[in-house]
Structure 1
């Protein structure tokens, strides 16, 4: 018995790993093609009017057939901001040049990228399992949350958090480390604001997708967050403990 023959069009070799990466990561080396002006505009509005940033999502979907951004300029800018922040924190803690570079690497890779990979995966899984609207004639055929878009949501939510925790906290560092209730209140409120900004940013990002329902569930972490904040005002200095763990002091 002759074995069935297959034409070349029927045999598909697996795509290389590089092709499986989201487009935004595959273009990280193309600096000359990055639109830094647009990225700076987005970072500004993420702090002032984040909903305006997500209005461009619909245009991007119509023109490029994807919800996720394909320009990594905003990733480069956030990495640069984290690098500068690490240098500033290194001065505050009298770090050596080697320690400063290590801190910058940790902030970029661990705090932003690795955390983003975990958060994006969780958001991607939860959104596609729990928040997708039931199929209907009016819903688009590709009603699915892209993993790359979930990472975009993390990126957009991370920047206001970065400004609050990495920058604003640095300016009030001598104050939040003092042992009195007013300083404790200031430091704890700073962390509440940063985490609330991140949570709200995640909600805005997924709420912008027209095929998701019950996106208000993404705001549910605010309740335990605010409850923990109230309890912490009884005497737990969040900033002091977090910085002690983060910087090992």
Structure 2
């Protein structure tokens, strides 16, 4: 009988070559907007808000058709970066006092808040899942699978978008209430940040649990427990997350 898969050593070389070509394709499309599927990106963003499981169900279809889990289209990252820049400009118009500080804030929002911190979280999730969460192969001839770093970053991007709508967009709209010198402002601000953080970790959990070769992915839900403890503590201590964030970026004095 012919073997049904490649030996593990050979498959690892093939995977390495495949990932290199995927990265090259990804970077090449980054400079060719005509090759980006923005329609599918906006559909995915909608599903992440109304039915995130549906969005990840299409991830498995992507694996079946292209033999990798990660996106080969940077449209999602481009759209999220543009949205981050736009909301940062809106905050600057509302709270900033200088053009130079506004430019720095916009660059920081995209390069640090979204991309750099996202890369760190993706790297931690990638390392954790590959080292501790992979199922042990039951068959000696089975191809060993692992989480692609680019997929881990996709998971961050997916989880970031609904959080962005809550913590960035909705917060700006509710600022007149959130900045009130009352317990109502503190409670609403803490609740908003708790909802955004919880949604982020829930969608992160869905992203890793969509991979059939991982187990115990509920560890990605554990940070929600920390959020549940932090919210009442912040309210009791009189901490308003919105005021803290505005103070950090704009020197806002309550």
Structure 1 length-normalised TM? 0.88
Q: Is the 8 A contact 1:175 1:183 kept in 2?
A: yes
Alpha carbon RMSD of aligned pairs, Å? 2.0
Change (3 A) 1:20 1:167: same
SS in structure 2 of the partner of residue 220 of structure 1:
helix
Does 2:166 correspond to 1:164? yes
Which of 220, 230, 242 is the equivalent residue of 2:245?
A: 242
Q: Is the 8 A contact 2:96 2:102 kept in 1?
A: no
Select the structure that is richer in helix.
2
Aligned-pair distance for 1:30? 1.4
Structure 1: segments with no counterpart, 5+ residues: 1-14
Counterpart in 2 of 1:12? Answer: none
Change (3 A) 1:73 1:140: farther
Which structure has more relative contact order (CA 8 Å, sep 6+)? It is: 2
Structure 2: segments with no counterpart, 5+ residues: 1-16
Provide the rounded CA distance (Å) in 2 between the counterparts of 1:184 and 1:138. Answer: 57
Count of aligned pairs: 233
Q: Is the 8 A contact 1:184 1:236 kept in 2?
A: yes
- Post-superposition Cα deviations, 1:62-93, rounded to whole Å, max 9, x if no partner, equal 11110000011111111111111011111111
Counterpart in 2 of 1:83? Answer: 85
Provide the rounded CA distance (Å) in 1 between the counterparts of 2:26 and 2:249. Answer: 30
Q: Is the 8 A contact 1:139 1:211 kept in 2?
A: no
Which of 118, 121, 125 is the equivalent residue of 1:119?
A: 121
SS in structure 2 of the partner of residue 75 of structure 1:
helix
- Tell me which structure has the larger Cα radius of gyration: 1
- Post-superposition Cα deviations, 1:123-149, rounded to whole Å, max 9, x if no partner, equal 110000111011123995142000000
Q: Is the 8 A contact 1:67 1:149 kept in 2?
A: yes
Counterpart in 1 of 2:189? Answer: 187
Change (3 A) 1:142 1:22: farther
SS in structure 2 of the partner of residue 233 of structure 1:
helix
